[in-house]
Structure 1
Amino acid sequence: MTSVHLEVAEGVGTIRLDRPPMNALDIALQDRLKELAEEATRRDDVRAVIIYGGEKVFAAGADIKEMQAMDHAAMVARSRGLQDSFTAVARIPKPVVAAVTGYALGGGCELALCADFRIAADNAKLGQPEILLGLIPGAGGTQRLSRLVGPSKAKDLIFTGRMVKAEEALTIGLVDRVVPAAEVYEQALQWAARLAQGPALALRAAKESVDAGLETDIDTGLAIERTWFAGLFATEDRERGMRSFVEEGPGKAKFL
């Protein structure tokens, strides 16, 4: 049975984790997640993406029983595939919103970190508890968490393995918005739907400029921005947006 699905409606693709009761991220789910992230990247009818685990839980981490059976050689062989699955989500060149309910722990938190925005339920709990297993995060947590909340806060969460509730997650910048649990998906859908109406190439340019710029020095980052900025002058969306601004005023352009 497929444990993760892609559902598309009105420009928004929802990647839905479906491995009850806790959406444990086993190898099969990881591999399918990568396939669906790549599909969402390719499809023109997907202009924004939501990552969602359902009403009760986002994802409570890796499948520990599956991991327990793996030795050093097996994990050396698997660890790149694990990271590649999450990186495929992070590199979707479209806006990605994580709709976080319940637990987002370990790999679940790392998956949320791959999104551009995180909307959390008021009962959500997030964390990187791998240290309690004698491990460290292995799906990007040591890198993406520190880039998002800073190295000190990241080390606090990773060194202690403690969970943070939604309000603390909001305070430290781990999530962007906290809403009642029953409204998480709807709020994420509203956000994604709004972004799906924007200029697709400009949104891709903005995302890649920010993400790539974070990995390099300021001069190289400015060169990346400059290349994208100039390139967008060749697009129909730029013509449409500027014409609408001149003729109708700001914020009224409708993009294809």
Structure 2
Amino acid sequence: MELGSFQTLVVEQDGPSLVVTINRPEALNALAAAVVRDLAALLDAVEPRLGPAVGWPVRGVIITGAGDRAFVAGADIVEMVELSAEQGEEYSRAMQAVTLRLEALPVPVIAAVDGFALGGGCELAMACDWIYASAASRFGQPEVKLGLVPGFGGSVRLTRRVGIALARELICTGRMLKAAEAHRTGLVNQVLEDGDATLAAAKQTITEIAATSPTAVASAKALINEVATLDVAAGLDREAVAFHAAFETEDKVEGVRAFVAKDQPTFPGR
């Protein structure tokens, strides 16, 4: 998939995986304004290339960081020194928009974390559908140590991932979680030996996803995001609507045919 070139990102397709590497190792991959702009531009290029009209050229996106010290160490504090309050809010809203677009992609997005994922880095990882991390990784929202609060979604997504009590503790203390503890809290799905193993695990998962129905995965992701804030009755109603829509897809016809015939399905992605 040809997506153009970016100042702060390296983007490569590996089979069904699109690997996006934030490439500022000299700054621990901090989310400078240029990175936010590049992520938005990447999404501009990726969004029209995912779906039935183009045949699902990739089945998942992996976001990682260059080097073995940090996934993303946070927002770019050096840049923030000169920002006015209005510019700070603009920076916050620009990155929040990126996180919402990642959540809305019709394919899973996996964060492959190796090293620090702090502040904006933790928030970027949490905007992904799930997180794989190396044993050396560290997670946290240390904004209060700078006289700030989370600005890229930490107060919302951390609460939903680990519960309100632990989120309050982590945000109000700025304490870091080691990878094993992050796994125990549900923040991280898997802990792997090192960065190479973490990236390999993410690619393997997307390879598994590539054997399933693209339309069903897209619908399931959207459904899970939608029902997360609904009560049980409203969520079940939305699930029934999505179940109805799945019955109208060619992928459902092929999946059921293959199951009955004890055959491997070839999903058309429609």
Q: In the TM superposition, what whole-angstrom CA distance separates every residue of 1:157-178 from its partner, at most 9, and x where no partner exists?
A: 1011011111100111110100
Q: Does 1:213 align with 2:213?
A: no
Which residue number in structure 1 is paired with residue 241 of structure 2?
Answer: 227
Matches within 5 A, 1:1-256: 2-21=7-26, 22-43=28-49, 44-56=56-68, 57-181=70-194, 182-248=196-262, 252-256=264-268
| Structure 1 alignment gaps of length 5 or more | none
Q: In the TM superposition, what whole-angstrom CA distance separates every residue of 1:176-199 from its partner, at most 9, and x where no partner exists?
A: 100111311111111112112321
SS in structure 1 at match of 2:31 = coil
Amino acid at match of 2:59: R
Amino acid at match of 1:108: G
Amino acid at match of 1:30: V
Q: In the TM superposition, what whole-angstrom CA distance separates every residue of 1:56-99 from its partner, at most 9, and x where no partner exists?
A: 12110011010111011222333321211222212212111110
Which residue number in structure 1 is paired with residue 52 of structure 2?
Answer: none
- Decide which moves more: 233-242 or 189-198: 189-198
CA distance in 1 between partners of 2:233 and 2:106 (Å): 23
Amino acid at match of 2:167: A
CA distance in 2 between partners of 1:76 and 1:59 (Å): 20
Conserved? CA contact 1:157–1:163, under 8 Å = yes
CA distance in 2 between partners of 1:101 and 1:226 (Å): 39
| Structure 2 alignment gaps of length 5 or more | 1-5, 50-55
TM-score (structure 1 length as normaliser)? 0.94
Amino acid at match of 1:15: V
CA distance in 2 between partners of 1:120 and 1:189 (Å): 13
Conserved? CA contact 1:79–1:138, under 8 Å = yes
CA RMSD of aligned residues (A): 1.5
SS in structure 2 at match of 1:15 = strand
- Decide which moves more: 60-69 or 31-40: 31-40
Q: In the TM superposition, what whole-angstrom CA distance separates every residue of 1:40-60 from its partner, at most 9, and x where no partner exists?
A: 332131221111113412110
Amino acid at match of 2:266: K
SS in structure 2 at match of 1:45 = coil
Amino acid at match of 1:195: I
Equivalent residue pairs, number: 254
